[in-house]
Structure 1
Amino acid sequence: MLSKLKITLLLITFIFIWSCGDKTKKISEIVEVDMEMQMSNAYKEGYLELKRGDVLLAAKKFNEAELLFPQSAWAPQAAIMAAYSYYSQAYYNDTIYELERYLISYPNHKDKVYAHFILGMSFYQQIVDEKKDLKSILDSKEQFEIIIENYPKTEFAMNAKFKIDLINEILAAKEMYIARYYLKKTKWIPALNRFKIVLTDYDTTIYTEEALHRLVEINYRLGLIDESKKYANTLGYNYQSSDWYKNTYKVFNKNYRDAVKELQKDKKKKVGIIKRVKELFE
């Protein structure tokens, strides 16, 4: 009799737990549907505000959508849209904050490459003075290098390569600026080292020719003739028709330098004669 009572109680308890569990599950599903609807509405509001041009409100709505239902597949998309809203109106610091947070929160999201590109552009757009603002330049380059290394077949990779070329021009310009300063102050060794950096790190930039010539010039002044000739040969092999090569040729060829001076004198004489002839007919 007692065992039958126990069995009956166990069955009642099981039915009660099962019915409660089923009810909890249904409530959970209803809440989830409601949260998803609220998120969807907030996302739509954000999109509409972005189209209207109120990017601050748009970003706020996208953030709200993400917070309402962070487990949703749309949450990382809302985070990116918040960042893009800021980026569209040049709020670069806010853009950077949102994207860095997104990359930490959603490390495996499918749109990571887009986040890296906009992050790189946000740093790039803040480059004001290459002589001073080194951090923005390097941060930007880092993001574009991530794209080229990890997403080489995407449409962003080509844009990233182009941006890195421009960044390298900026970095090379900075090195040239410092090197010329040392050259002007006749500080040969620091100048030499800076011009070498241009050759080793930025050899595809427009500053390569001048850097080679300056290395020829400085080494020649220091009495390092073989070293000077080495750079002169490199310059001649790659840029034989350039003005920098002509200047380098003058460093070694005294007769050439004297001949150029004579030609300049003859030119001045001819100009003077022509001027006097003209005056006769005025």
Structure 2
Amino acid sequence: MKTARALFASLLVLSASALISGCQSDPDIDITKLGLQSDPPDVLYSQGLANMKAGNMAEAARKFDSIDRDNPFSEWARKGLVMSTFVKYRQGRLDEALASGNRYMAQYPKSKDAAYVQYLIGLSYSKQIVDVTQDQRAASRTIDAMQAVIDNYPDSEYVDDAQAKIRFARDQLAGKEMQIGRYYMERKEYLAAISRFRIVVEKYPNTNQIEEALARLVEAYYAMGIVEEAQTAAAVLGRNYPDSQWYADSYKLLKSNGAEPRENQGSWISQASKKLLGT
């Protein structure tokens, strides 16, 4: 019986040795899944930082991820999740960065690194913003994420850049409305165009699109024969941006047919103009 047991034990040792040897020659097999004990979390964290310093971001991400996997809800797991989010953002793995960042915020919204992780979420959305001819969903999400930085962590060092990212995203959203509005103008669908320019004036008044939006309203209303609204749009444009080429063009259009800028205080344009800087 003892001999049989000894033989069985020897076979187990040989099988384990063969399996480990095979794993060493196969880089696609993760030996941590074979029941072997992984490094302590503090060691993994240090290894992750060392890989980051060496520029090996993929390996750094694996180290940080393994901390969270093997030591969930620990302080090291929390720190590893911060670094995993950062590394994935730096790698351009933006969807993964968003996934880990959102998981962090769900678990640790009041932690000392929460402002930074929320900022990384905003940056990850911001990196996905495309030109105005394409869908601007990422711009909207950038605004929401960065506004959360401002609202929830007003004393953090990330507020100034969060505000800058919001301004850029709002410019993009306004630009998208202008792009669609110009499309309708080219087809002489003036009511549809006006609805888009109106969105810019009312919702995005302090963006880099506002001057053109007011000038396009002058064109569209004038083309429809609604001269009073065209005059109001030109007057608001001239009062706020007197040196603008858009105003010069609008003024010329009105004067060419004997009209001039004149504001109707009851117009929606006049009411919306109160949101403009300098008004």
TM-score for both structures, normalised by structure 1: 0.73
Deviation string for 1:98-155 (max 9, x for gaps)? Answer: 1112122223322111111111111111223332232222122211111112222221
Find 1:176's aligned residue among 153, 159, 178: 178
Verify the 8 A CA contact 2:214 2:233 in the aligned structure 1. yes
Task: Please state how far the C-alpha of 1:71 moved relative to its aligned partner.
Answer: 4.2
Verify the 8 A CA contact 1:76 1:109 in the aligned structure 2. no
Out of 159-168 and 148-157, give the one that drifted further.
Answer: 148-157
Matching residue of 1:155: 157
Task: Please state how far the C-alpha of 1:66 moved relative to its aligned partner.
Answer: 2.5
The percent of aligned pairs where both chains have the same amino acid is: 34
Deviation string for 1:141-176 (max 9, x for gaps)? Answer: 211111112222221110000111111111111111
Q: Which aligned segments of 4 or more residues in structure 1 are displaced greater than 6 angstroms? A: none
Verify the 8 A CA contact 1:123 1:139 in the aligned structure 2. yes
Matching residue of 2:4: none
Matching residue of 1:121: 123
Do residues 69 (structure 1) and 65 (structure 2) align? no
Which structure is higher in RCO with an 8 Å CA cutoff and minimum separation 6? 2
Deviation string for 1:3-45 (max 9, x for gaps)? Answer: xxxxxxxxxxxxxxxxxxxxxxxxxxxxxxxx9x811111111
Matched residue type, 2:192:
P
Matching residue of 2:59: 57
Following the alignment from structure 2 to structure 1, what is the Cα–Cα distance between the partners of residues 202 and 254? 25
How well do the aligned residues superpose, as a CA RMSD in angstroms? 2.1
Matching residue of 1:204: 206
Matching residue of 2:265: none
Matched residue type, 1:154:
S
Following the alignment from structure 1 to structure 2, what is the Cα–Cα distance between the partners of residues 242 and 119? 37
Following the alignment from structure 1 to structure 2, what is the Cα–Cα distance between the partners of residues 76 and 101? 10
1:206-221 correspondence to structure 2 within 5 Å = 206-221=208-223
Structure with max Cα Rg: 1
Is there any run of 5+ residues in structure 1 with no aligned partner, and where? Answer: 1-34, 258-282
Deviation string for 1:166-214 (max 9, x for gaps)? Answer: 1111111111111001000000001001011111122112221111111
Aligned length: 223
Task: Please state how far the C-alpha of 1:255 moved relative to its aligned partner.
Answer: 7.0
Matching residue of 1:146: 148
